Chains A and B, each alone.
Chain A
Amino acid sequence: MQTTNANEEVNYLEYKGKYSGIWGWIFSTDHKRIGLLYLYSIAIMFVVGAFLGLAMKLELIAPGKTIMNAATYNATFTVHGVIMIFMIVIPGLPAVFGNFLMPIMIGAKDVAFPKLNLLSWWLYVAGVLLILTALLFGPGVPDTGWTFYAPYSFKTGTNLLPAIFGAFVLGFSSILTGLNFLVTIHRLRAPGMKWLKLPLFVWTLYGTAWIQLLATPVVGITLVLVSLERVFGIGVFDPVLGGDPVLYQHLFWIYSHPAVYIMILPAMGAISEIIPTFAQKGIFGYKALIISTMAIAFVGYLVWGHHMYTAGMSGTAQYYFSLLTFFVAIPSAIKVFNWISTMYKGSIKLDTPFYWAASFIFVFMIGGLTGLVLGALATNIYVHDTAFVVAHFHFIVFGGVGFSFFGAIHYWYPKIFGKMYDKYWANVGWIVFFIGFMTLYTPMFYLGMQGMPRRYYDYLEEFHGGNILSTFGSWIMITGLVIIITNLIRSARKGEKAGINPWGGKTLEWRVPSPPPLENWDEIPVIGEEESKYF
Chain B
Amino acid sequence: MSEEKHHIVPYKTYLVILLVLLVLTFVSIAITNIELGELTVAGALFFATVKTFLVLTYFMHLKYDKPYIRIMVGFVFAIFLVVIIITFLDYYYRA
A contact set with B: CB distance below 8 Å: 187-189, 191, 193, 214, 246-247, 250, 254, 298, 301-302, 305, 312-317, 320
Contact = CB atoms under 8 A, between A and B. Distances in A.
Given A301-B83, A302-B82, A214 B90 contact: no
A302 B81 CA distance: 11
B1 A189 contact: yes
B94 interface: yes
A302 B86 contact: yes
B1 A320 contact: no
Given A254-B87, A302-B86, A316 B79 contact: no
B76 interface: yes
Given A214-B79, A317-B86, 5 more contacts: A189-B1, A193-B1, A312-B94, A313-B94, A320-B86
B90 A254 contact: no
B90 A305 contact: yes
User: Which among B82, B86, B89 has the greatest number of chain A C-beta atoms within 10 A?
Assistant: B86
Contact of B76 (A193, A214, A246, A316): A214
Interface string B69-84: 0000000100110110
B93 A191 contact: no
A316 B86 contact: no
Interface of B: 1, 76, 79-80, 82-83, 86-87, 89-94
Contacts of A189: 1
A187 B87 CA distance: 35
B93 A314 contact: yes
22 contacts: A191-B1, A214-B76, A214-B79, A246-B90, A247-B87, A250-B87, A250-B90, A254-B87, A301-B79, A301-B83, A302-B86, A305-B86, A313-B90, A314-B91, A314-B92, A315-B93, A316-B89, A317-B86, A317-B90, A317-B93, A320-B86, A320-B89
B1 A316 contact: no
A188 B93 CA distance: 48
A152 B86 CA distance: 25
Contacts of B80: 214
B83 A254 contact: yes
B93 A316 contact: yes
B23 to A, nearest CB: 26
Contacts of B89: 314, 316-317, 320
A254 B84 CA distance: 10
Contacts of A316: 89-90, 93
Contacts of B83: 254, 301-302
A115 B87 CA distance: 37
B65 to A, nearest CB: 12
Nearest to B1: A189
Nearest 9 Cβ contacts at the A-B interface = A314-B93, A317-B90, A316-B93, A314-B94, A313-B90, A250-B87, A314-B90, A189-B1, A301-B79
B44 to A, nearest CB: 16
A302 B85 CA distance: 11
